[in-house]
Amino acid sequence: SAVISQKPSRDICQRGTSLTIQCQVDSQVTMMFWYRQQPGQSLTLIATANQGSEATYESGFVIDKFPISRPNLTFSTLTVSNMSPEDSSIYLCSVSGTEGGYEQYFGPGTRLTVT
């Protein structure tokens, strides 16, 4: 398994601003993923971030709103841009490929409230 940390753990932001969330893993991983969990809902994949290539976004998510960086095999960032109250969610990063398989492990999440 992998140990995953996220910063910040929570934040309250004003509408129209942007927040960058960091995800750090304690070992090199092939695949990193970003998910959104809206209040009372399940998890929805935002994008897949592979090192050395552009992130792959799921339907309904665009790079201008959720730019992602993946500078190396242990780190990624997700920015939530031009926030509105509808962006209030938990944002989670996950990783897989630590043992060559599909199993995914999740970070503790970033709880974002937009006022």
Partner 1 sequence: GIQVEQSPPDLILQEGANSTLRCNFSDSVNNLQWFHQNPWGQLINLFYIPSGTKQNGRLSATTVATERYSLLYISSSQTTDSGVYFCAVVQRDSGGSNYKLTFGKGTLLTMNP
Binding residues vs partner 1 (CB under 8 A) = 1, 31, 33, 41-45, 48, 50, 56, 58, 90, 92, 94, 101-106, 108-109, 111
Among 108, 114, 104, 113, which Cα is nearest to 23's? Answer: 108
Give the CA count within 13 Å in the CB-facing half-sphere of 25: 27
Q: Which is nearer to partner 1, 16 or 62 (CB)?
A: 62
Least distance (Å) between residue 32 CB and partner 1 = 12
Q: Which is nearer to partner 1, 10 or 15 (CB)?
A: 10
Which tokens sit at 37?
């969990």
Residue 45 Cβ vs partner 1, minimum distance, rounded to whole Å? 6
Strands 89-96 and 75-80 turn out to be unpaired
Q: How far apart are alpha carbons 10 and 62 in whole angstroms?
A: 23
Nearer to partner 1, 8 or 108 (CB): 108
State in angstroms the smallest separation of the CB of 33 from partner 1.
7
Length of the chain: 115
